Structure 1
Amino acid sequence: MYGPFQKARHALRGGAALVLALLLCAVVPAKAAGVTADGTDRTASARMLVPVGHTVGIKLFARGVMVVKAPESGTPADDCGLRTGDIIVKCGGVSVTSSEQFQSLLQENGETATDLQVRREGESMTLSVSPEQNETGAYCIGAWIRDSMAGIGTMTYYDPETGSFGALGHGITDSDTGILMPFASGSLLPSAVKAVKKGASGEAGELRGDFDLTGDLGDLSANTSSGIFGTLDPGEFTERLGDAIPVASAGEVHTGPAAILANVEGDAVKEYDIEILQIVEDAADSRDLVIAVTDPELLSITGGIVQGMSGSPILQDGKFAGAVTHVLLNDPSKGYGILMETMLEAGDPAASSVT
């Protein structure tokens, strides 16, 4: 449920980049642990994190390029065995860094058969492709590819001790293939909500906003199925954040009243009432918490949970319980959340040994 996405030409890498809505995912709860620089034990229950809840612009560049549409029959891509979801990481022995660079490599090779190093479902393989000229004279293989994504999502937490952050509560996945985007680099950008499309039964709503491509807030370091992670640059954004609160252990989170922090109007982050309806044990897709929005104000603005709210912190009993991740399409007032322990274990550099 990662923010409203639009097509953007020349916004990323100076070339054409498809910008599309992302799918949702998460993982199974696990206890996060670590040690601070002064030797203090940092188990999940002892951690102190700042719940954020503010929207941010997110841009992510893939490692290689992803095939996002099945090659048509008879094209060089089809003949060589490329499939939807394949990630092309090398062309003729040269690492692929962008769609534009990949096209340049094809032009250099011309009609000569070229080896493509491909990652498929975690396995590496080599395919041989013979490009063909199109009607404009350019050498092509007939594959739809993508190298980057950008849009608006919600930052979940900030760790003032390490400068690290987590956002979304789910990974950035390709909207055509549903596959987690292979991470190369990325950054966060200032953002504000300009409008809201209210959710309705059968149709997800969305936060609509913009972000400034010229001013980074920080860098991404990981794209995992339970969130994106990185480090914020000290500055005005971090100075405006609130105080850190304890992270709730999985056993402390319970059914009953809770709250979320969300940015659904302009630059303001507000607290809204929700209820945790169910704790899902060993959730296969990390829909650890079933939640319902009960706050009349939020229901009147958004109809419940909408795209762009993924990552909104869930607070309960004065502790940091988790983050919003999914919406129920048939009832947008309800959705799912991920436990904070799960999110921290997935990719926070300060949490255990997970990388």
Structure 2
Amino acid sequence: MQQSKAKRLLLSLMLAFSMLVSAQAANSTSLIPIGHTVGIKMNAEGVLVVRLNDVQTPDGPVCPAREAGLAEGDVIVSINGTEVDSNDSLQKQIALSAGQPVTLAILRNGSSQSLTAVPRVDEKGVYRIGVLARDSMAGIGTLTYVDPETGAYGSLGHGICDSETGVLLPLREGSLLYSVVGSVQRGKVGEPGALQGEFTADTSLGTVKENTESGIFGTLTDTALYESLEAVPVASADEIELGDAEIISNVEGDTVQRYSVQIVKIYPEDDEYGRGMMLRVTDRALLEKTGGIVQGMSGSPVLQNGKLIGAVTHVLVNDPTCGYAICIEKMLNAAG
């Protein structure tokens, strides 16, 4: 009941060290906070089953995938030993079966399993097993930080999940693309807003190597977004205080600005929803432009007392002036 209520209140904006080691690492690290939007394009490792559909056969509707035990959220990685990495390759292997049983190698909750399905021919003469699958995703988010010495970055503060199943997209490869904000859909109570980003596939800024529950991570290959910026110290979780702070965001065109916020609540390290702190936007300019926190601002760095302390991750659906942020310490731990 509690979890269901929390899901209604939260909207994710399209992942260990010991406490002592982590705090020492945070105190000795300097990173560049960025706050610029980027286009994020990811291709899945295998294909993610989003929905099971009936195959309309001459004998009536059937769903071979369901009969085989396949479920929404499963990841199909191979068919009869041949890897599948796209919907096209999935359908090709099903078509090649000519109706003979096929062996599906899948991942379910991180565990490998093997299932057998018998494709059926539909009314158009095409063999199918009755799955709607997803093999890639694209969207807009905000870069949180970059290590000026290595180019390693972190972004979003949460993982990229399938919107229908909630499953973390298993990453095969991904890239960051240069982006500008074309327009803003303002947030209002019950209806979160969003940044409308514009990006093209021929302006790569870097790679996406990890998709985790605490953010996406990789390497920036283009220094344009940070070569003129300065690094700041990284704060450990126990340095975060209630009160004044700032977020760095790109909510118009190519402009990155600092906006005032208040940290109104700090959550325990073992918070079941992964929250580090609750923020309230107090900056009049940002409130007028966006209504508060909107989708696409996920990953906006949070600073306090001259240190990088976290990244914006969620908006409160019933109050868009408020949202949640992850502690930077947790992001760095996820990045390894």
- The superposition leaves residues 171-190 of structure 1 with CA deviations (integer Å, 9 ceiling, x where unpaired) of 00000001111111100000
Q: 1:258 to 1:31 in 2, by over 3 A?
A: farther
- 3-state SS, counterpart of residue 101 of structure 1: helix
Q: How does 1:112-123 map to 2 (within 5 A)?
A: 112-123=100-111
User: Structure 1 residue 152: deviation in Å?
Assistant: 0.5
User: Structure 1 residue 169: deviation in Å?
Assistant: 0.5
Report the counterpart of residue 65 of structure 1 in structure 2.
47
Report the counterpart of residue 270 of structure 1 in structure 2.
257
Contact 1:23 1:172 in 2 (8 A): no
Q: 1:29 to 1:197 in 2, by over 3 A?
A: farther
Contact 2:53 2:130 in 1 (8 A): yes
Report the counterpart of residue 174 of structure 1 in structure 2.
162
- Partner amino acid for 1:105? Q
The two structures have a TM-score, normalised by structure 1, of 0.86
Q: 1:30 to 1:213 in 2, by over 3 A?
A: farther
Q: How does 1:1-355 map to 2 (within 5 A)?
A: 23=12, 43-72=25-54, 74-240=62-228, 242-281=229-268, 282-347=270-335, 354=336
User: C-alpha distance in 2, partners of 1:300/1:24?
Assistant: 19
User: C-alpha distance in 2, partners of 1:25/1:309?
Assistant: 10
Structure 2: gaps (5+ residues): 1-10, 55-60
User: C-alpha distance in 2, partners of 1:32/1:269?
Assistant: 33
> Matched residues, percent identical?
48
Q: 1:206 to 1:28 in 2, by over 3 A?
A: farther
Contact 1:197 1:208 in 2 (8 A): yes
Contact 2:14 2:139 in 1 (8 A): no
User: C-alpha distance in 2, partners of 1:186/1:32?
Assistant: 30
- The superposition leaves residues 296-325 of structure 1 with CA deviations (integer Å, 9 ceiling, x where unpaired) of 000000000000000000000000010000
The alignment yields a C-alpha RMSD, in angstroms, of 2.0
User: Structure 1 residue 32: deviation in Å?
Assistant: 6.3
- The superposition leaves residues 120-166 of structure 1 with CA deviations (integer Å, 9 ceiling, x where unpaired) of 11221111111122233222111110011001100000111111000
Contact 1:28 1:284 in 2 (8 A): no
User: C-alpha distance in 2, partners of 1:25/1:181?
Assistant: 11
Contact 1:50 1:158 in 2 (8 A): yes
User: C-alpha distance in 2, partners of 1:168/1:94?
Assistant: 34
Q: 1:28 to 1:57 in 2, by over 3 A?
A: farther
- Partner amino acid for 1:61? N
User: C-alpha distance in 2, partners of 1:152/1:32?
Assistant: 33
Q: How many residues align?
A: 319
Q: 1:178 to 1:31 in 2, by over 3 A?
A: farther
- Partner amino acid for 2:202? T
Query: Which structure has more strand as a fraction of its residues?
Result: 2
Contact 1:27 1:226 in 2 (8 A): no
Q: 1:312 to 1:153 in 2, by over 3 A?
A: same
Structure 1: gaps (5+ residues): 1-21, 35-41, 348-353
- Partner amino acid for 2:254? D
The two structures have a TM-score, normalised by structure 2, of 0.91
- Partner amino acid for 1:135? E
